[in-house]
Amino acid sequence: MHSWSEKIQAQWSKKNYLCIGLDPDRTKLPLQRASASETITAFNCALIDATKDSVAAYKPNTAFYEAYGEEGWTALKATCDYIRSAVPEVAIILDAKRGDIGTTNEGYVQMAFDFLKADAITVQPYLGGEALRPFLEHVDKGIIVLCKTSNQGSAEFQNIVTADGPLYIHVAKRVAHKWNENNNCALVIGATYIDELQAVREATPDIPLLIPGIGAQGGDLGATVRAGARNMIIAISRSIIYASQGPDFAEAARAEAQKYHSAIQEALVQ
């Protein structure tokens, strides 16, 4: 069993920075099985088989599974189990964006790390580091904190001015300098905000970044790679997993993943 940090460092040493978001929208899936859980699991497993040699991590987002209730949770568990058995060297990031008071977070810890056995989880900063202690004390797991999110309206609170600069910079500094005692923290920064990405990199050069917003959301890959430095995970979902909605979806996803993988390599040497 390797820790989150060991897994992701090993991927970076192979120049793997790509993370595929496993976000199955049942209305778009090019295959059907007897139940929602079987349909979603079959889709994910085919994607994993097709893309596993060019990825650092897979990132299922819980919203796409919870939408189907127990069926969705069965598929999410089966997907995590499959990743661990088929590609144990690839990290599982549970994109759950959870966050509650301390005692309650223990339930989410149990869900993410005991039940699903994910390597990392995304969390909300709003309740503060004290509330997130049940996550942070898991030294072998990655705790990836929302900092500057990729959505259009993320400035509403995240860019509000405080004595320590915009709120997202204050969050980045608190996470990097106060919460990261176990060296297991990372930050989410959307590729749709290159200036903010550069500002976070300057303020906190050493903390790993999880960067969504490339692909369907329109972020610039070259600029992102140059700003993100070497300790980054670039998360792409829709433009890979729905590259084709026909029976060739897995091959199309593989081609798209390899295209992004190559584009990242090119940007790294520019």
Mind telling me the catalytic residues? 97
User: Which residue from 30, 114, 27 is spatially nearest to 68, judged by alpha carbons?
Assistant: 27
Residue 130 contacts a copy of itself per CB under 8 A: yes
Q: In sequence order, which residues have a C-beta less than 8 Å from that of residue 127 and are 6 or more positions away?
A: 99, 100, 101
> Which positions from 90 to 129 touch a copy of itself by CB under 8 A, shown as an x/- string?
-------xxxxxx-xxxxx-xx--xxx-------xxxxxx
What are 183's two structure tokens?
């060296």
Side chain identity at 51, as an amino acid letter? Answer: T
Residue placing its CB nearer to a copy of itself in the complex, 217 or 231: 217
Residue 31 contacts a copy of itself per CB under 8 A: no
State which of positions 168-207 bind a copy of itself (CB under 8 A).
170-171, 174
| Stretch touching a copy of itself by CB under 8 A, among 8-16, 47-55, 58-66, 223-231 | 58-66
Residue 131 contacts a copy of itself per CB under 8 A: yes
Q: What sign for the dihedral angle of Cα 61, 64, 67, 69?
A: negative
Binding a copy of itself by CB under 8 A: which of 160, 177, 181, 222?
A: 160
Q: In sequence order, which residues have a C-beta less than 8 Å from that of residue 143 and are 6 or more positions away?
A: 120, 121, 123, 132, 135, 136, 179, 184, 185, 186
User: Which residue from 51, 45, 48, 57 is spatially nearest to 18, judged by alpha carbons?
Assistant: 57
Residues that bind a copy of itself (CB under 8 A): 23, 61-70, 73-74, 77, 97-102, 104-108, 110-111, 114-116, 124-131, 146, 149-158, 160-163, 167, 170-171, 174
